Amino acid sequence: MKFKVLLISILTLFLVQCKKKVQTKENHSENKEVQKRAKFEPKEGVLLFVGQELEAVGGLQAYNDGYLDHFDKPAGWTTYTSINPGDTSFGFIHKGLDGLWETNDWGDHHYNAKMQLQSPSYTNMALAIGLSFVNHEEKVAEGTHDVFIEKLADFLLSLGKRPVFLRIAYEFDGHPWNHYDRESTLAAYKRMVDKLRAKGVNNTAYVWQSTGFMSSQEQLKEWYPGDDYVDWLGVSFFHMWPKIEMFEFARKKGKPVFIAEATPTSPDLIVDPEGNKGFTKEMKLSNPQQAQMAWEEWFVPFFDAIEKNKDVVKAVHYINCHWDSHRMWFDNPTFKGIDARLHLSDEISKKWIEKTSRAPFILSSPHLYDDLYNNQ
């Protein structure tokens, strides 16, 4: 009898030790998996962002007919700024980092990140910032504009734990409109990341964003700043979405993809009344026929692309914009005639809610920040 008791005790101890070893191995495996994930990359799911200007996002006393006023709060929102002091855009003279602390309009309606950050409507939301320095990449690279990097660092540090996705020189390969110099842009990108890190900024993930259709795999490789400087790969999803190369590039690099700009535009280009080629078709979601066309020609491919590339696509940004009311886009071949405000169409709104209110999409929550910092 004593022998049986002793044998059972030994077997029990053996099984307990085996279970501990298995658990230790599983925990070690999980830790290694977390370490492989990029900064703020969720373990599962797709972060939903909306943007881009105050009117489009809403949720404010003076801007109360935007996305936040009609739909559940997303995981984040997007704003824009630039480092191009002295440049003029639609009568607005840039000072540098415009739209972060005060209301500014450079042709794309009103931006004011501070106003949003101070509003209860924007709690438990991550922030994505599109940062451009067109025609100033050399000055950024050589240090002439370091003062703006210092100010940007102070701004980011002031946000505390709020996660930020910084899209430096977004659409770097959009040569017809951005015409960035590759060598200077790469140097500027790296200088900015180095200086922000040196200032102790640790609430920011760095996003390297392509147009999605203007660069081959080899050209993307030539523009790539390097793994140490890139947390996420970004891409735009407009009418040229069938030509996106970034998904495959992301697989090669083992990096997550942020579809950082997306709005309904048809890949079926037309000739406008003046005979100009390459214009996207008019898509106003307030028009039931055009809304149906938008769903079939853009929304369905958009959601399909997320599903087909779920191994890499981990964040998306929908631009809920009244494009053709903004001076910057009046004559733009892609956004002329586009009104992408979701709430204008009951049918689109219903389908959008059905899609985004469940997995894989991640919305705002009280534990969002902790989840992102812990890659959960």
> Class for domain 43-373, per CATH?
alpha beta
Q: What is the pLDDT of residues 3-46, one digit of tens each?
A: 444 444 544 444 445 444 444 444 433 344 445 899 999 999 99
pLDDT reported for residue 177? 79
Q: What percent of the chain has pLDDT over 90?
A: 80
DSSP 8-state symbol, 276? -
Q: Where are the alpha helices (DSSP H) in the chain?
A: 2-36, 54-57, 113-117, 137-142, 146-157, 182-198, 217-223, 246-253, 288-294, 300-308, 346-356, 368-373
Are 100 and 113 spatial neighbours (Cβ–Cβ below 8 Å)? yes
Lowest pLDDT segment from 17-26, 145-154, 237-246, 267-276: 17-26
Q: How confident is the model at residue 214 (pLDDT cuts 50, 70, 90)?
A: confident
Q: What is the pLDDT of residues 132-158, one digit of tens each?
A: 999 999 999 999 999 999 999 999 999
Q: What is the mean pLDDT of the chain?
A: 91
Q: In Å, how far are 64, 161, 326 from 61, measured between CA atoms? A: 6, 26, 21
Token pair belonging to 91? 């009568």
Side chain identity at residue 107, one-letter code? G
pLDDT reported for residue 264? 96
Question: 342 CB contacts (<8 Å, ≥6 apart)?
Answer: 67, 70, 71, 285, 318, 320, 348, 349, 352
Question: 162 CB contacts (<8 Å, ≥6 apart)?
Answer: 117, 125, 126, 127, 203, 369
Q: What is the pLDDT of residues 317-345, one digit of tens each?
A: 999 999 999 999 998 888 999 999 999 99
Side chain identity at residue 206, one-letter code? Y
